[in-house]
Structure formats: C-alpha cells, structure tokens
Amino acid sequence: MVSRTLLPVKAFVFLEIFPFCVVFNENLTITNIGNSLQAVMPTVVGKRIPEVFDLSKPMVECSWKS
C-alpha cells in the first residue's frame, strides 16, 4: 500500500529541484511539470501521458498499475 504522507518540501521547490519531472495522477493525467519542461512543453498539463509521450521501454501497457 502506498503511504500518502506529504513530502517535507513545498511543491514549487520540488519542481525547481527536478526541472524535467512529470507529475501525474492515477488516470495518467499530467497534473504538474518541472520548470524547464514547462518552458519547452507549456500545454501538456491536463493531458494524459499517452497523448504526450510514447513509452518505448519497457514493453508494457501505459497504465497506473504498470
């Protein structure tokens, strides 16, 4: 089971530390992206991961369970 405790850092700090991170929910909808990724892909928030990225490896279905 996944622990839902909060991180000890604020979200904006996390996004600065990891400028190319992608944060998504269980529906694979992108909820936030890092600062550098925001500069090159400003319209991806709100889209689903499979609409924006192609998973090439590992060869598994792009789903929350995998």
pLDDT, residue 37, reads 92
pLDDT tens-digit readout, 3-61: 566 668 888 888 889 999 999 999 999 999 998 999 999 999 999 999 998 878 777 77
Which of the 8 DSSP states describes residue 15?
Answer: H
For tokens 């992206």, name the residue: 33
Domain range list for the chain: 1-66
pTM for the model stands at 0.74
Cα 8–Cα 1–Cα 6 angle in degrees, nearest 5: 15
What is residue 33's predicted lDDT score, i.e. its pLDDT?
Answer: 93
For residue 2, pLDDT beyond 70:
no
